[in-house]
Structure 1
């Protein structure tokens, strides 16, 4: 049977589009001062051409404190002052990792150059698989031994942004707790809210408001090693075609690169790449897409409501997930979803394009020693709409020592412009 978009993802990645106006005042961004941590900012670039490196991973060694760079290669890393003489590890797929003393980050500006890995990996003896499908089967088979088997409580940073054309028009952010179930369990993960904020109520700027249902559950749902049947069925991979790309490397790990493509193409279908550790057969990273050339079927999957007189359909659906390692076990580290929609208005010559990004980065975690998780009002519903259903957007002094992803320069510019427009109306 063909693998269509899983019911779990289908319930999450749904957009609401409707006509509305609002007069809510913007919430302002402020960074509180704390004596408990020191914030270090900088940029990670390609040493050869100075190109910014997106999603480079920075972690404080011998701790669970970490962050990732934004699309401009910029980062903000908050290190507890109780940690002295520590080193920061900086890594990115296809680049040589670096370990830098904390003192390195005290200079200004902080620019970290990573060199591309030029090793001829296809000659490394450790790559002995010749059948990519057999490798994927082994990857799925070993998930219980390669990933966390403890319940963990993770601190995460979530960002949800919406861009109309080239302009960023909406930004919501939150610090959350991810109540992660063991990878050998079928129990669902839960998310509770610590605090959230948004820059403004952008509904006022246009008659069309686009809203994403699911919030931080969207990128968390990409954890295909926790829920492999969302895409792959371990017992039957015949729905996919697999092939090898040249291998690559991250840190000291050699990785197979496996292309996959769903065979049945009547409905939206998956294709992408799996990056699998050559020694343990662990999935380290996956980037994949959903082909949405079938507009009617894709609209039914993603669009819940829309204004009369419009046609709304997705034209691009991209996913990205990265796993992190601790003491030989792997866990969810970063998830990113990106969707682009076209809105055609009746009697209008030009259409509108909206791009929706949601990303969730784990910035700290600990083993959950409690016998069970007691849910309260802070726990989010899987159909949550962050702007509508979540309180706390007016609390502006809460970021504290939580690590966040540095806002893109384009987002910061959009925030200032929208504030000025709202203040002048």
Structure 2
């Protein structure tokens, strides 16, 4: 993941349509846990007959705009450890204060089933089954992507884009492709700053976090450098899953990953993965992320964490969401004895909002996002204020779920 970001040695210069049919409905609700009435954040909300989806925000709220044709469909609510709930779309129309309560899911295990211990063989079998568990044919996706740079407690750059994505077959080594449909940015540049900071390859990294498509990024060829431990069984989408933690083997000095992943018990498909790099206290960690910097600048990477999430549709699993957060600390050795430091936080998220299997085509080379592209510079050519409508100001602290909520009517496949 060495292409995540780079620091350059220049004067500071921080980078600072076809919609739904006129007849559409806006669905709103709040998802709560039945056992403690607490809101469930990041619960998946999907229209069953379509590939239109969103997730709840930190307070459990969601808003989703759907076409009139979905009136007789069902809304599916999913959350880790709780039973799925299906609700007729028609019952949510024009009702702004819907409280949707999910019941905890209790897994009944066979008397001989092992739910703890060494998970290495399960992981190896899961990797072997990737070609049969995930899409055989290429698909097209619409995705909402955002990235931000925070200096200490202040945002200095935020970018939002709507993407078209060509998702290649999980049985091929062909890379995924993305192109920008529309985009915009906001910057807050201080004349006192003296370093040019660019976040490079954010969209490419978001796609590479499809660990089912690119398992070697984390595990290498066979995962031989890790210990895998089966922790417990949990319910995801009303199905039992193995929760497996992983850590680098003792004695390995390389910078690797640690975290947990969830395997569907029946198919052994990877449905979710949460992991981070063991960068704490490693002076060499900056070499992974920083491509170029001034000689007097010292960079300590304090966190590099990632999430990848998948969704099942008709027996196959599809990439659905990814996020990245990298925090680092910058010191100048020739200033104030190096006592003062600046903290930077890089965040990026990609959420798939629509997926379809017809009209699947690769993009012309000149339209594709490259791993070296700085998206904050690319969006200069894709800005259209009319597209964003009332959502006309980028709000730094707004969660991606709220951004999708405000644009849900536009984050679908566009007519040719």
TM more than 0.5: yes
Partner of 1:396: 385
1:194 Cα offset (Å): 0.8
Partner of 1:13: 4
Change over 3 Å in CA distance of 1:273–1:23 after alignment to 2: closer
Q: Are the aligned partners of 2:115 and 2:232 in contact in 1 as well (CA < 8 Å)?
A: no
2:364 corresponds to 1:362: no
2:200 & 2:244 partners in 1: Cα distance? 31
1:10-48 deviations in whole A, cap 9, x for unaligned? 2x3123355645599x9xxxxx99725333344434445
TM normalised by structure 1 equals 0.82
1:407 & 1:123 partners in 2: Cα distance? 48
Partner of 2:138: 151
Runs ≥4 in structure 1, deviation > 6 angstroms? Answer: none
2:285 corresponds to 1:298: yes
The equivalences for 1:228-267 within 5 A come to 228-234=215-221, 236-263=222-249, 265-267=252-254
2:164 corresponds to 1:177: yes
Q: Are the aligned partners of 1:146 and 1:328 in contact in 2 as well (CA < 8 Å)?
A: yes
Q: SS where residue 216 of structure 1 aligns?
A: helix
Q: Are the aligned partners of 2:158 and 2:396 in contact in 1 as well (CA < 8 Å)?
A: no
1:349 Cα offset (Å): 3.9
Q: Are the aligned partners of 2:81 and 2:236 in contact in 1 as well (CA < 8 Å)?
A: yes
Q: What is the aligned counterpart of 1:203 among 189, 208, 211?
A: 189
2:56 corresponds to 1:69: yes
2:68 corresponds to 1:78: no
Q: Are the aligned partners of 1:139 and 1:282 in contact in 2 as well (CA < 8 Å)?
A: yes
2:377 & 2:192 partners in 1: Cα distance? 17
1:232 Cα offset (Å): 2.1
2:58 & 2:296 partners in 1: Cα distance? 35
Aligned length: 390
Partner of 1:373: 362
Q: SS where residue 219 of structure 2 aligns?
A: coil
1:318-353 deviations in whole A, cap 9, x for unaligned? 111111111101111111111111122431644222
1:355 Cα offset (Å): 1.8
1:63 Cα offset (Å): 1.3
Q: SS where residue 306 of structure 1 aligns?
A: coil
1:45 & 1:209 partners in 2: Cα distance? 44
Change over 3 Å in CA distance of 1:172–1:77 after alignment to 2: same
Q: What is the aligned counterpart of 1:94 among 78, 81, 85?
A: 81
Q: Are the aligned partners of 2:161 and 2:184 in contact in 1 as well (CA < 8 Å)?
A: yes
Partner of 1:214: 201
Q: SS where residue 161 of structure 2 aligns?
A: strand
2:226 & 2:308 partners in 1: Cα distance? 20
1:26-80 deviations in whole A, cap 9, x for unaligned? 9xxxxx9972533334443444555443322110011111122344544332211
Q: Are the aligned partners of 1:247 and 1:254 in contact in 2 as well (CA < 8 Å)?
A: yes
1:407 Cα offset (Å): 7.6
Q: SS where residue 144 of structure 2 aligns?
A: strand
1:124 & 1:106 partners in 2: Cα distance? 48
2:107 & 2:237 partners in 1: Cα distance? 15
Q: Are the aligned partners of 1:74 and 1:406 in contact in 2 as well (CA < 8 Å)?
A: no
Partner of 2:406: none
Partner of 1:133: 120
Q: Are the aligned partners of 1:95 and 1:249 in contact in 2 as well (CA < 8 Å)?
A: yes
Q: What is the aligned counterpart of 2:25 among 38, 47, 50?
A: 38
1:209-230 deviations in whole A, cap 9, x for unaligned? 5431112212211112112222
1:123 Cα offset (Å): 5.3
Partner of 1:5: none
Q: SS where residue 192 of structure 1 aligns?
A: strand
2:266 & 2:324 partners in 1: Cα distance? 29
Question: C-alpha root-mean-square deviation of aligned residues, in Å?
Answer: 3.1
1:281 Cα offset (Å): 0.9
Q: Are the aligned partners of 1:272 and 1:287 in contact in 2 as well (CA < 8 Å)?
A: yes
Q: Give ranges in structure 2 of 5+ residues lacking alignment.
A: 402-416
